[in-house]
Amino acid sequence: NAGVTQTPKFRILKIGQSMTLQCTQDMNHNYMYWYRQDPGMGLKLIYYSVGAGITDKGEVPNGYNVSRSTTEDFPLRLELAAPSQTSVYFCASSSLDRGKETQYFGPGTRLLVL
Amino acid sequence: RKEVEQDPGPFNVPEGATVAFNCTYSNSASQSFFWYRQDCRKEPKLLMSVYSSGNEDGRFTAQLNRASQYISLLIRDSKLSDSATYLCVAGTTDSWGKLQFGAGTQVVVTP
């Protein structure tokens, strides 16, 4: 299993540009998440999905959109990039083991908006 | 107030020594707790779950204190490879997708 994969690894955007961060998992997990992590800060939840066709906002959803057409894929869309969206973006998926949720993370996408 | 708070450190630890640090959580309904490890510029990876009675995994020991709402992580016989940021995580049983991550405690093991 590849686990959770993300592309691209790194991207530079100009203000106002748009892009899609890709996330795929091959563990057949229903739950998937997008987080951002700013330097020295904790992970902040942007959006999450409990299954194909179902998404919900997290703590910091403004400026982002998601879709979940399949169990495997959970892309994150930035429509009008702003410098405040410079961050590292992690996608994760989770399983339930003995009543505890364990999240598995992708390697991250580093985004710089200039 | 943050739901999960950690001392950011860094905790500078000589190789072979023991280091311990805590994390506090504010939601008394939290039922599941974890420690994740994050290396510089890498993704978080699960280190261990934290059980009510406390648990060990090799050189790592995790404890939960529900009365005071904190969990702890102790690392014995520290290795250089233990240098990382340790993230404390708390969740409730009815909050799928809403695990709360602390900002992390940095540990630096020195030769």
Residues paired with A72 in a beta bridge: none
Query: Tokens 């030769």 identify what position?
Result: B111
In the numeric block, which tokens belong to residue B110? 């020195």
CB contact A90 to B (< 8 Å): yes
CA pair distance B16, A94, nearest whole angstrom? 34
pLDDT tens-digit series, residues B1-49: 678 999 999 999 999 999 999 999 998 888 889 999 999 989 999 999 8
CA pair distance B15, B110, nearest whole angstrom? 6
CB contact A100 to B (< 8 Å): yes
Please say if the pLDDT value at position B99 is more than 90: no
pLDDT band at A102 (very low <50, low <70, confident <90, very high): confident
Cβ A50–B96 below 8 Å, yes or no? yes
Cβ B87–A43 below 8 Å, yes or no? yes
Residues of A in contact with B34 (CB under 8 A): 100, 102
The share of chain A scoring above pLDDT 90, in percent, equals: 81
CA pair distance B97, A46, nearest whole angstrom? 11
Please say if the pLDDT value at position B95 is more than 60: no
For residue B68, CA distances in Å to A30, B22, B37, B40, B91 come to: 34, 11, 24, 31, 16
CB contact A9 to B (< 8 Å): no
Question: What confidence score (pLDDT) does residue B93 get?
Answer: 64
Nearest chain B residue to A91, by CA: B43
| Site from B99, B100, B105 to mutate, A interface, most A CB atoms within 10 angstroms | B99
